[in-house]
Amino acid sequence: MGPETFYQELQPELASGESVLWSGQPSTRVLFGPQDLFLIPFSLMWGGFAIFWEASVLGFAGFLSGDFTKGKGSPWFLVLWGIPFVVIGQYMIWGRFFYAAWKKKRMIYAVTNKRVLVVSVPGPGAARKVITAYLQQLPAIEKSVRGNGIGTITFGLGIPMNFAGRRSSAGSWDGGLSSPVPKFVDVEDAESVYRIVSDAREKAMRKD
């Protein structure tokens, strides 16, 4: 999206007297995140087991010949039972990376003199989604920056940890793009964006 598209998508969300200090999108150069240290092995185990199950219930000989009545063929309900797990496994192994790249191109991040905004631009048949938070009401700002300057900035309280000591969130599978709290994921020059937000937050708090 170019600057004109950014303006067109952000303009309906701006209140009277609100001006944009920065806007951008997630970087598509980032493919893997810290969460993948856990998710990749897990997805490979899930996907591998699902394929093994499906091959087993089909029967090896029948699986190769296309005749499911030979070998160790199993009832059709067992064959059908395994299909959703195979599909889910394929999504977790590789499909989620394509989904994240597609979603990144349809997201706009913005910092105004009053708020931070995360706008999900709708695709065909999808609803527009906006997550926002006022600067003076932010309880915390958390940043994580890579050596290449690309980083993630989270606005709000941290997401509770699960039993494994990892953050429990539906957005984990897409790198945080579906986070329920405002979050700038994989933004270029994250340090500069962080300073812009911090300065705007300080000014907003002084006005109160």
What is the domain-level CATH number for residue 169?
2.30.29
Backbone region of residue 62 per phi and psi (left: phi > 0; alpha: psi in -120 to 50; beta: other values): alpha
- For the cut 80, the answer to whether the pLDDT of residue 119 exceeds it is yes
- Considering the domain architecture, whether residues 173 and 197 belong to the same structural domain is answered as yes
Query: Kind of pairing, strands 141-145 and 129-134?
Result: unpaired
Q: Say which residue, 113 or 180, is predicted with more confidence.
A: 113
Domain enclosing residue 194, as ranges = 3-28+108-207
Backbone angles phi, psi at 17, to 5 degrees: 80, 5
pLDDT digits (tens, 9 = 90+) for 84-111: 888 888 888 878 888 888 889 889 999 9
pLDDT number for residue 67: 52
- Considering the domain architecture, whether residues 112 and 156 belong to the same structural domain is answered as yes
**For residues 179 and 100, is the Cβ–Cβ distance under 8 A?**
no
pLDDT grade for 143, boundaries at 50, 70 and 90: very high
Q: For residue 190, give the 3-state DSSP assignment.
A: helix
**For residues 183 and 155, is the Cβ–Cβ distance under 8 A?**
yes
- Considering the domain architecture, whether residues 203 and 186 belong to the same structural domain is answered as yes
Q: Say which residue, 64 or 187, is predicted with more confidence.
A: 187
- Considering the domain architecture, whether residues 142 and 47 belong to the same structural domain is answered as no
- For the cut 50, the answer to whether the pLDDT of residue 162 exceeds it is no
Backbone angles phi, psi at 113, to 5 degrees: -75, -5
**Spatial distance between the Cα atoms of 119 and 134, rounded to a whole number of angstroms:** 15
Give the residues across from 40 on adjacent strands. none
- For the cut 60, the answer to whether the pLDDT of residue 76 exceeds it is yes
Q: Provide the domain count of the chain.
A: 2
pLDDT grade for 2, boundaries at 50, 70 and 90: low
pTM: predicted TM-score of the whole model, two decimal places: 0.75
Which of 157, 156, 170 lies closest to 115 in space, CA to CA?
156
- Considering the domain architecture, whether residues 9 and 58 belong to the same structural domain is answered as no
**Spatial distance between the Cα atoms of 156 and 101, rounded to a whole number of angstroms:** 25
- Among the candidates 102, 127, 149, a domain finishes at 102
- Considering the domain architecture, whether residues 141 and 176 belong to the same structural domain is answered as yes
- Considering the domain architecture, whether residues 138 and 182 belong to the same structural domain is answered as yes
Among 19-28, 35-44, 83-92, whose mean pLDDT is lowest? 35-44
- Among the candidates 46, 79, 102, a domain finishes at 102
- Considering the domain architecture, whether residues 66 and 112 belong to the same structural domain is answered as no
- For the cut 70, the answer to whether the pLDDT of residue 148 exceeds it is yes
Q: For residue 15, give the 3-state DSSP assignment.
A: coil
- Considering the domain architecture, whether residues 115 and 190 belong to the same structural domain is answered as yes
**Spatial distance between the Cα atoms of 107 and 149, rounded to a whole number of angstroms:** 20
Residue whose entry in the numeric block shows the structure tokens 């599978």: 173
- Considering the domain architecture, whether residues 113 and 141 belong to the same structural domain is answered as yes
- Considering the domain architecture, whether residues 82 and 46 belong to the same structural domain is answered as yes
Q: How far apart are the first and last CA of the chain?
A: 35
- Considering the domain architecture, whether residues 74 and 158 belong to the same structural domain is answered as no
Which of 155, 68, 79 lies closest to 118 in space, CA to CA?
155
Give the pair of three-digit tokens for residue 70. 């030979």
pLDDT grade for 200, boundaries at 50, 70 and 90: very high
- Among the candidates 86, 102, 118, a domain finishes at 102
Question: Is residue 196 within a helix (H) or strand (E), and if so which, with residue range?
Answer: helix 190-207
